[in-house]
Structure formats: C-alpha cells, structure tokens
Amino acid sequence: MNFAGKVWRLLVGIKDGMVLLFMLLFFALLFAVLSSRPSPGQIREGALLIELDGYVVEESSRIDPLQALLSQSAPVGEYQARDLVRALDAAAGDKRIKAVVFDLTRFLGGGQVHLQAIGEAVDRVRAADKPVLAYAVGYGDDAMLLAAHASEIWVDPMGGAVIAGPGGNNLYYGELLKKLGVNARVYRVGTYKSAVEPYTRDSMSEESRENYAAIYGALWEEWQANVKKARPQANIALVTSDPAGWVAASKGDLAKAARAAGLVDRLGGWEEFGARVAELAGEDPWNGEPGNFAATELAPWLAGTAPGTPGKPIGVITIAGEIVDGDAGPGTAGGTRIADLLDEALDRELAALVVRVDSPGGSTFASEEIRRAVLRHKAKGIPVAVSMSNLAASGGYWVASAGDRIFAQPETITGSIGVFAILPTFEGTAAKVGINSDGYRTTALSGQPDLIAGFPPEVDAILQATTQNIYDRFLGIVAKSRGFDRERADTLAQGRVWDGGSARQLGLVDQFGGLEEALAWAAGKAGLKDGGWHPVYLGEGRNTYDSLIRQMLASDAEQERAPAADMFALSAQRHGELAARIAGDLNRISARRGVQAYCLECPVQSTAKDTARTRGGETAGFVARLIDLLR
C-alpha cells in the first residue's frame, strides 16, 4: 500500500506539472497573439513607412499555420491594394503624417491596375503638400511604375534600375510528350484558346502570337504612358532601345545609368536616405542609429484609421486567383466558398452588390456556381456592378457576365471566352515498356475512360461534344448579358484576349473605372446619396495567427535590410522557380479537372509567387536581383 501511494503521488505530481506547463504555454501563446496585433497606439507623428516586402494583391492568402511551421520559413508578404490606397488617402489628410516613405527593397511586384491605383493615391498625398520618397536597391518594371509617382526616388549606389517590358517565353512539351508516348488529348473550342498549346506544340501558333502581341503591346503602351505622365524626365526610350549601350555609357554603373536616364533622383544608402527623411518628418526619439527616422508602420496605421460604416451596406465579393471547385481560398477563388459567402449575405439586406474580379479563370463548373449565386442577389432586385481588376478573363468573364454594369481599366485583361479540357492517355508509353491492354466490352463505353489503352472514337466524340456544349453555354451567357446576337458573341469570343480599352470599344465592358466607381454607381442605382452607404467585404477577416506566425518564423537574416547575394546565388534560386513552373504545367495536364475556361495569355504571377511563398528569404543586392527584375 505504501508503494502504491508513492506511485499515486508521483502520477498526481506529473499531472499537476503537465497542467501547469500547458497553462503557462496557453498564456504565453495568448500574450503573443495579443501583442502581435497591430495597435493604433503605435501611431506617432512623423512619416508613414510602407515596407512592401512581397506582392501587391487583390486578396491576401490565408497562412496555413501547420504548413508554415513545418517549412520553417516565413511566408512572403501580401498587401491588399485597397488597403494601401486607404492608408495613403488617410495619410493625405492627417496632420500627424509629415511624409510617406516606400521601402521597395524587397518588393516583388503587382498588377498594373493595382500599381496605377496606388500611384494615383500617391499623387493625392503629394497634392496635399506632403513629400513621398521611394527607396530600393534595384527597380524593375513594377517598382518603377509605383516609384514614378514619388517626389524623390532613391537607389543604393550598388544598385540601379532596369526596364524589361512585358513578355517572355512559355514552355512547350509537345515533343517531350511524343517521346514519352503520352497522348495529350485536347478538347477545345476557340481559335485563340492557347492554353492547350504547351501540350500539343513545340512553339507558339501564329494565332496565339497575334493575340500576345496585341495584349502585351497594349500593356506596354499603358505602362510607358503612365510612367511618363508621373515622371516626365524619365527617358524610357534610352533605357529600352539600346540597354547595353545605355549601361556601357556609365561604365557598367547601373545606379549612375539610372540617374542619367532620369529614372531615379538620388544615389545613397539607407543611412543617407533615412537622414533625408528625418529632415522632412523628424528624427526617431527612441532610436538614434543611422537610417532611422520618426515613423508609423503600415499595420498600426491601418488599424488606427479604419473607415466608418455610415448608412446602408453595399456588399463586395472578391473573386481573386484561379477559379477552382470547392472551398479554396482566400487568394484562390473556390467556387463553393464564394457561393456560400454570397448565400449567407442574402439575409443581410444589402443595398447593392459589387463583384470584384481579379482572375484568369479556371473551372467552368465553379464559375457557373459563383454566377448563379450572384444572380440570386440580382433576383432580389438590387443593382449588381462588376469591377474588373488586373484580370477578368475566361472563367473570370463568365462570372462578370452576371453584372448589370461592368467596370474595367485600360490595363485590365479580359475576354478569353473559350473553353478546353486535357486528358492524357498512355497507350504509347505502355507499348514502349511492353504493357498490353485487352478485355471484353459490352458497349463502346465499357471501361472508359481507359487511360492505358486510350479512348475509342466514341469517347473522343462525346468529350468534344461536351466541350462544345459548354462553349455554347458560355456564348449564350455572354450574348444575353451584353445584348449581342450569338454570331456577334462568337466573333468576339474564340478564346481571344482583349485589353480593357479594346473590350470597352467592343462592348464587353461598359465603362472605365475602378472599385470606387463601381461602388458609387451601385449606390446611385440603389438610391443612396454620398455618406449614406459603406462597403462590406464579404468573407473578409485575416486570420489572427498570421502576424504571430510571421514573427515566429522570421529569421535574423530576414530582418536585415538588404542581405547580400550575387547572380550565381540568384541563379540557384531561379532553379526552384523553374521547377515550380514546370510542376504547375504538369499539374494542369494531370490533375483531375473538368472543362476549363482559363487564360494562358494573362500575365499572372502565380508561379513566382508560389515559389517565393515557400522560400526563406529574399536577396536584395542589385546584381543578384538583375535577373529577378527581368522576370
């Protein structure tokens, strides 16, 4: 009995110790969560510091805590464009903010529509007589488009700027698949539907080349026009017509070459830049180290300047990323998730609905699922506006067709009204390795689809007929929505991609304008006056663990301003990006997907973004970033 009592007391002691340990861990975690949240109390007089360490996006992806902790790498930052615009507009009218500073050292890019909207907000800050300063080690196309609106552009003397323009190469696997004996069975409708070409050809078709030339040509013209308007002294022609000669004229010094071309104003390291900001916004009273200045960071600024909620709510549903079946997202447009959000909002008595689309398309089933959910709001008699962001193509346009009025920007990419499906079969591969297929079938469809033996003609005919039927549905939806006859709709369709300016002329969109214009139109149609409404973003609410996870995983190297690396280190990093790109291409042919309405021509950043999200840190030395900027 004495021994049993000792054992019992030992077990009780272990239990009490475990309870105490878990309680300590719980309260430590609770404290960490609370302390990681941005607080309005962190706002102070000085500069608004916006460190864009990542991408500008339409909708932030939610961090998977388990995946992030297992990978032991901090996820790449994502900054919603509307948050940045709101922060800048608030700074323009707030006396506490003396200047705005953009640190673009680790900026990875964003769509032209987003960057132009942010640039226009920067213009409003400058119109309020507040200086805006930009700093980076290296400026690429996206960073230059944003920085052009600043009153002062600084670059590190070891850095520079390079303008590449849109475009690049795709990978084509046609010959490889033939050598492997893989039969990429393609079912498509649309002369310009080039999403299947990488699996059937070894080079770009003339129809696809024509479409790429029109789209990228329009994007390039808009980029140049916007930069020249914001920064007239920028000699873009010098930089792009003879880039090697331009650099050689400065003896290979890219920073001096950038200044000679009017792309930047001043050369200096972060310490010199910080001293300049301190002259304008004040010195940091808590930290006198070189490069510091009085500043408020973006997160607490947003927390302390939250907009009010006057009047009636206007719902905003975001369709961002590839449209897929199921509950994926945010950051990916899961059809079921978005349809559920819309259905839950049916009881909220919304005065109007705005559908914000930034998607290259995807699943036709998910696109129709979302469109039907939008129509259920429309059936309540409320106005529905569609606001196109950078992309609203293929499945994105399928969804957009549900709107009463469609808004787009000149830089928006839309159209791509066409569908396709790909199913690989391996009869050639099987024959190469000595595998044969035989059996008994009661009908032509018995045992189908047979991926090893291949498809009989009947299966091919059925799949092509199904694809044609979905295309006909797509055409019917577009024709009814836009008031076209089917012949007119088919002429504008065929998978062809259009820029926003062409789309407006052709009647695929109604007018130029961004999200604010779409909201204002919807409010007007609902009979609401200025100040009598506010937007409600359906499903918005960042995971409270996001900032905590970032803090836990951020290494000392990631906290440094500009970790050094060279071109060879970056080349090794690019191997990972190339692998991710190939994996994405293979996933498109091998994944279990239905008929797709997806735009291959659309200049999306998904491959680079997905790769960056899993890597530990960013390189910022300019020579190391040169290839990255050309990306």
> Annotated active-site positions, please?
193, 394
Task: Please state, in angstroms and rounded to a whole number, the distance separating the CA atoms of residues 170 and 423.
Answer: 20
Token pair of 7, please? Answer: 């054992």
Q: How far apart are CA 602 and CA 103, in angstroms?
A: 28
What value, to the nearest 5°, has the Cα angle with vertex 9 and ends 8 and 12?
A: 85
Residue with the two structure tokens 């130029």? 512
- Whole-angstrom distance, CA of residue 47 vs CA of residue 56: 21
Burial grade of 180 (CB within 10 A; 0-12, 13-18, 19 or more)? middle
- Phi, psi at residue 148, to the nearest 5°? -55, -25
Q: Which stretches within 483-566 are classed as H helix?
A: 486-492, 500-506, 515-525, 546-553, 556-559
Record the tokens describing residue 357, joined without a space.
Answer: 């689309």
DSSP code string of 46-103 = EEEEEE--EEEESSPPPP-HHHHHHHTSPPPEEEEHHHHHHHHHHHHT-TTEEEEEEE
Burial-class residue 349 by CB neighbours within 10 Å (0-12, 13-18, 19+): exposed
What is the DSSP pairing of strand 511-512 with strand 405-408?
parallel
Q: Using alpha carbons only, what angle is made at residue 116 by residues 110 and 121, rounded to the nearest 5 degrees?
A: 115
As given in the structure block, the two tokens for residue 193 are 């539907």
- For 70, other C-beta atoms within 10 Å of its C-beta total 9
36: tokens are: 């990681």
508 closest CA partner among 518, 493, 486? 493
CA atoms within 13 A on the CB side of 423: 17
Q: Which residue has the tokens 């909207």?
A: 117
CA distance 506 to 492: 8
**CA geometry: angle at 441 spanning 435 and 445, to 5°?**
95
